[in-house]
């Protein structure tokens, strides 16, 4: 259920956020639950939504109009993305293994996405002309159309609890650099800790996704260590 246009009073105290210590069900952690979300055209947990509104308001004062282009995604939504990309790469004559490796440059295996949690957002600046494909790193760097958004977020996002997930650290493995993807640290850190208790190997093998016959034990181990856990270190522990 999504509650749209709800105005929530929320006082931001720099570097001080309330931790929920909430226990999440397996279904909530893998995108199969039915949580209540907030947002107008996007879906976020209540506290995340409140903090996002404050950040959005602050950015607008500096001429930046933060627009969420992706937030919560259900398991089924992520499965559609996975299936479409896999079939496309197979049709382009890539092997199953290469198709899977191509997908996980940017897209997650269903059941493993941070977007299942309602804590993560992909953003652009709605005050500039929108390029045809918005989520490309080149748009956020150098002379890119979203460079001012990126500079503003680099300076201010952490004040509101949001941190870049997939940084440009050259030593980081897993998903490629995503200058548009931010996560709300006070909640997502705890959700990741709870997520790590799941037997991900069993989860991925039993869901019978296209290409899952090629999910070897080594592939799953590498995927967990690189794609799920090799992220901005701040999102492994609570920032306070």
Over residues 202-237, the pLDDT tens digits come to 888 788 899 999 999 999 999 999 999 999 999 997
Q: Which fold has domain 2-235?
A: Muramoyl-pentapeptide Carboxypeptidase; domain 2 (3.30.1380)
What pLDDT was estimated at residue 206? 82
pLDDT tens, residue by residue, 36-73:
999 999 999 999 999 999 999 999 999 999 999 999 99
What is the pTM assigned to this prediction? 0.89
Band of residue 17 on the pLDDT scale cut at 50, 70, 90: very low
With a cut of 70, say whether residue 18 has pLDDT above it: no
Band of residue 238 on the pLDDT scale cut at 50, 70, 90: low
Buried/exposed code over 37-56 (b: 16+ C-beta within 10 A; e: otherwise): bbbeebbbbbbbbbbbbbbb
Bridge-based pairing of strands 2-3 and 181-184 is unpaired
Mean predicted lDDT score pLDDT of the chain: 91
Measured from the Cβ of residue 137, the count of other Cβ atoms closer than 10 Å reads 15
């Amino acid at each position: 259920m999504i509650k749209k246009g709800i105005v929530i009073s929320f006082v931001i105290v720099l570097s001080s956020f309330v931790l929920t210590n909430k226990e999440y069900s397996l279904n909530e952690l893998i995108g199969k639950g039915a949580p209540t979300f907030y947002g107008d055209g996007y879906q976020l947990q209540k506290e995340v939504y409140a903090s996002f509104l404050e950040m959005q308001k602050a950015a607008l004062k500096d001429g930046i109009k933060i627009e969420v282009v992706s937030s919560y995604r259900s398991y089924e939504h992520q499965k559609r993305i996975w299936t479409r990309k896999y079939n496309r790469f197979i049709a382009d004559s890539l092997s199953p293994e290469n198709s899977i490796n191509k997908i996980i440059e940017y897209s997650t295996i269903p059941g493993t996405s941070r977007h299942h949690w309602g804590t993560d957002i992909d953003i652009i600046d709605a005050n500039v002309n929108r390029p045809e494909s918005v989520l490309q790193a080149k748009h956020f760097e150098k002379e890119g159309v979203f460079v001012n958004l990126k500079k503003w977020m680099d300076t201010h996002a952490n004040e509101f609890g949001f941190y870049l997930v997939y940084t440009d650290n050259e030593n980081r493995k897993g998903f490629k650099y995503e200058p548009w993807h931010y996560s709300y640290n006070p909640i997502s850190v705890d959700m990741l800790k709870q997520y790590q208790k799941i037997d991900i190997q069993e989860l991925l093998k039993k869901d019978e996704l296209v290409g899952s016959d090629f999910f070897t034990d080594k592939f799953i181990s590498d995927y967990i260590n690189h794609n799920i856990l090799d992220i901005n270190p701040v999102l492994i522990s609570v920032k306070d």
